């Protein structure tokens, strides 16, 4: 039976009248007030309720309470046990989740219940849905201008151990043998030798592999690779075992880390050099989705896009994260710009100006963003051309891309475009031979004339590179650095640097709720600034909560219109 309280409809009597005015003021001006007044009623509990019968069965836990508790768990980086205690005894949690009756029936959640509901959220893919709906509500309530945004990625790790190649082989074999012994006891007893059992399933087997001497690492690596090939060949014809996830990991490690030569009994296995191992190879059998980045290491890449205010910042308007995404570490940032724009466009919070680093600023991305009405402010990737004279100095026509004259003022004799979309400008040979800047010029002397060969992407990148040295570009681009503080804040204060979970979907859920938690904290800071301004302008004694809200409403009517006043008075 579904149990969900209506939090969107107002009540005749205030259920929180037992709190004192100071307690209520502090709660309303901090994160519990933001969560209760703006987000609680927007949570998509209907997508979870479809898994329960509306009339029959034991009543569920109050769905808004469970879903809200899972969000707050990642917001404060709590374990399941800490969530259980906070939900039972923490007044801020009770106020945020609108639980006025602190009875055991309303506040107790078993750890198993948290795991079950978390599994439902993962099954329905609600991470992005909850983040998008809640963030859109905050954008509207606090009148956040999404026209200017910035984007960046940051590296993070799941709850997995960093393994070297020997321990990776050993851990994968051990995981397979344990699963085989548990699910296929007869096959395990008939096929697995005592030598393999002693090597990989003994109590100190993990410690033995971790204490391998550097001089013996090559020998040990050869041994575990042969064991890996033996197990793969041994069960290659067993259909039930082939369907095991751990057997797939065996084949994956063998394919990515080793080279198999020969046929039949003559098969030999050699370990690939580290440079030949792909970046998306398995890093740990406990988290098959994680991959490797040569610059940042093992783990995942998190894409974030947030609003910002150029110039003097208004403390009443927060900067909010509008988009997030999680990918394995090997995925390049350049592929993430357009999905971010598409996602925010569907939610009506797409930026007009997007500031990002060179990884996002490819020519293809810039052109595709312009078609969506978005101006991408990003430096051009790669080194500058060796010649001191660039294509941008040839006065190109902005519509056709044809050059009109060289830096010395000479017009080309002819302009044409080849079938491969390359442009060729022909200049008088004698004029170019006599030019004092001929050594630094991209125009090349040939038999009939001097030719400048280029394509439109190179021309556009050259024009963009020339703009990077202008004060206008530097003024726009300097605001990109602010998102580094957001990355640092999420890692240091919200626990995003190393999560408690493993697997891509679980990691995506944790990142979604942590990013939403940061938005809540920023809105609480903006809300506190509004309260502070109110008390400074109205120093008279506030006699009641209704008196306080009437003063706030009067203040907001005197200053710039702000939709928050209607929410506070409601």
Question: Cα(287)–Cα(330) distance, rounded to whole angstroms?
Answer: 15
- Give ∠ CA 393-395-399 in degrees, rounded to 5: 130
Question: Cα(407)–Cα(377) distance, rounded to whole angstroms?
Answer: 26
Burial (0-12, 13-18, 19+ Cβ within 10 Å), 98? buried
Structure confidence at residue 566 (pLDDT): 42
Q: Which letter does DSSP use for residue 299 in this model? A: E
Q: DSSP letters along 209-258, please?
A: HHT--GGGHHHHHHHHHHHHHHHHHHTTT-HHHHTSHHHHHHHHHHHHHE
Q: DSSP letters along 538-564, please?
A: --SPP-SHHHHHHHHHHHHHHSS--TH
212, 456, 495, 509 from 75: Cα distances, Å: 41, 47, 9, 12
Q: How far is CA 399 from the centre of its chain?
A: 37
Q: DSSP letters along 192-211, please?
A: --HHHHHHHTSTTHHHHHHT
Structure confidence at residue 543 (pLDDT): 47
Structure confidence at residue 564 (pLDDT): 42
> Which among 343, 303, 342 is positioned nearest to 326, based on CA atoms?
303
Whether this prediction's pTM lies above 0.85 is answered by yes
Q: Strands 148-156 and 353-355, how do they pair?
A: parallel
- What are 368-392's pLDDT values in tens digits? 999 999 999 999 988 777 767 888 8
Q: Which letter does DSSP use for residue 412 in this model? A: P
The band of 535, judged by pLDDT with boundaries at 50, 70 and 90, is low
Structure confidence at residue 563 (pLDDT): 42
- What are 97-145's pLDDT values in tens digits? 998 888 888 899 999 999 999 999 999 999 999 999 999 999 999 999 9
- What are 400-411's pLDDT values in tens digits? 889 999 988 899
Structure confidence at residue 547 (pLDDT): 57
* Range with lowest mean pLDDT among 100-104, 223-227, 544-548: 544-548
Structure confidence at residue 219 (pLDDT): 83
Tokens of 543: 């006699």
Question: Cα(565)–Cα(557) distance, rounded to whole angstroms?
Answer: 9
Structure confidence at residue 211 (pLDDT): 63
- What are 162-200's pLDDT values in tens digits? 888 888 999 999 999 999 999 999 999 999 999 888 888
The band of 207, judged by pLDDT with boundaries at 50, 70 and 90, is low
- What are 255-275's pLDDT values in tens digits? 999 999 888 777 889 999 988
Question: Cα(414)–Cα(432) distance, rounded to whole angstroms?
Answer: 15
Question: Cα(539)–Cα(376) distance, rounded to whole angstroms?
Answer: 46
Mean pLDDT within 424-452:
89
Question: Cα(424)–Cα(431) distance, rounded to whole angstroms?
Answer: 17
Q: Which letter does DSSP use for residue 36 in this model? A: I
The residues spanned by each domain of the chain are 1-124, 133-160+300-379+468-537, 165-276, 391-460, 540-570
Structure confidence at residue 206 (pLDDT): 62
> Which among 370, 378, 371 is positioned nearest to 334, based on CA atoms?
378
Tokens of 79: 């374990």
The band of 534, judged by pLDDT with boundaries at 50, 70 and 90, is low
* For residue 560, pLDDT beyond 50: no
> Which among 523, 138, 562 is positioned nearest to 322, based on CA atoms?
138
* For residue 428, pLDDT beyond 50: yes
Mean pLDDT within 435-447:
88
Residue with the two structure tokens 């890093």: 283
The domain made up of 133-160+300-379+468-537 is a member of CATH 3.30.1490.190: no
Residue 448 contacts residue 428 (beta carbons within 8 Å): no
Structure confidence at residue 559 (pLDDT): 44
Tokens of 340: 């971010």
Residue with the two structure tokens 């090597």: 199
* For residue 326, pLDDT beyond 80: yes
Average pLDDT score over the chain: 87
Structure confidence at residue 21 (pLDDT): 85
């Amino acid at each position: 039976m579904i149990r969900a309280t209506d939090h969107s409809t107002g009540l005749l009597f205030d259920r929180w009248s037992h709190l004192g005015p100071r307690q209520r003021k502090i709660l309303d001006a901090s994160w519990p007030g933001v969560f209760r007044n703006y987000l609680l009623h927007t949570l998509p509990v209907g997508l979870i309720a479809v898994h329960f019968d509306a009339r029959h069965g034991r009543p569920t836990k109050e769905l808004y309470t469970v879903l809200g508790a899972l969000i707050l768990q990642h917001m404060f980086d709590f374990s399941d046990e800490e969530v259980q205690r906070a939900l039972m005894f923490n007044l801020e949690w009770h106020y945020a989740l609108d639980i006025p009756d602190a009875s055991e029936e309303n506040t107790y959640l078993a750890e198993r219940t948290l795991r079950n509901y978390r599994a439902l959220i993962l099954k329905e893919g609600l991470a992005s849905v909850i983040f998008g709906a809640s963030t859109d509500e905050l954008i509207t309530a606090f009148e956040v201008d999404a026209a200017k945004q910035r984007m960046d990625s940051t590296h993070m790790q799941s709850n997995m151990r960093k393994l070297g190649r020997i321990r990776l082989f050993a851990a994968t074999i051990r995981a397979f043998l344990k699963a085989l012994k548990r699910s296929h006891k007869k096959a395990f007893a008939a096929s697995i030798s005592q030598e393999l059992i002693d090597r990989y399933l003994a109590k100190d087997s993990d410690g033995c592999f971790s204490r391998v001497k550097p001089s013996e690492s090559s020998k040990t690596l050869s041994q575990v690779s042969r064991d890996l090939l033996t197990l793969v060949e041994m069960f290659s014809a067993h259909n039930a075992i082939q369907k095991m996830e751990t057997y797939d990991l065996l084949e994956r490690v063998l394919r990515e880390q080793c080279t198999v030569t020969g046929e039949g009994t003559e098969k030999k296995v050699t370990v690939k050099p580290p440079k030949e191992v792909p970046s998306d190879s398995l890093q740990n059998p406990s988290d098959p989705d994680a991959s490797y980045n040569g610059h940042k290491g093992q783990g995942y890449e998190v894409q974030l896009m947030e609003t910002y205010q150029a110039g003097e910042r208004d403390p009443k308007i927060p900067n909010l994260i509008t988009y997030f995404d999680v990918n394995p570490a090997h995925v390049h940032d350049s592929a993430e710009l357009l999905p971010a724009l598409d996602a925010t466009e569907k939610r009506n919070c797409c930026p007009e100006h997007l500031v990002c680093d060179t990884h996002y600023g490819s020519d293809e991305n810039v052109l595709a963003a312009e078609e969506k009405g978005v101006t991408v402010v990003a430096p051009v990737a790669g080194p500058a051309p060796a010649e001191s004279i660039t294509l941008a100095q040839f006065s190109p026509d902005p519509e056709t891309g044809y050059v009109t004259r060289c830096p010395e003022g000479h017009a080309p004799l002819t302009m044409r475009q080849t079938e491969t979309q390359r442009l060729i400008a022909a200049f008088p040979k004698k004029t170019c031979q006599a030019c004092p800047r001929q050594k630094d010029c991209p125009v090349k002397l040939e038999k009939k004339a001097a030719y400048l060969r280029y394509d439109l992407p190179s021309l556009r990148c050259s024009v963009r590179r020339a703009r990077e040295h202008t004060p206008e570009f530097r003024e726009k681009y300097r605001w990109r650095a602010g998102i580094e503080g957001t990355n640092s804040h999420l890692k240091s204060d919200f626990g995003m640097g190393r999560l408690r979970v493993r697997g891509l979907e679980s990691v995506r859920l944790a990142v979604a709720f942590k990013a939403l938690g940061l938005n809540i904290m920023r809105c609480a800071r903006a809300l506190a600034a509004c309260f502070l301004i109110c008390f400074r302008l109205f120093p008279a004694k506030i006699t009641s909560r209704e008196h306080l809200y009437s003063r706030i409403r009067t203040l907001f009517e005197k200053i710039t219109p702000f939709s928050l006043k209607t929410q506070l008075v409601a």
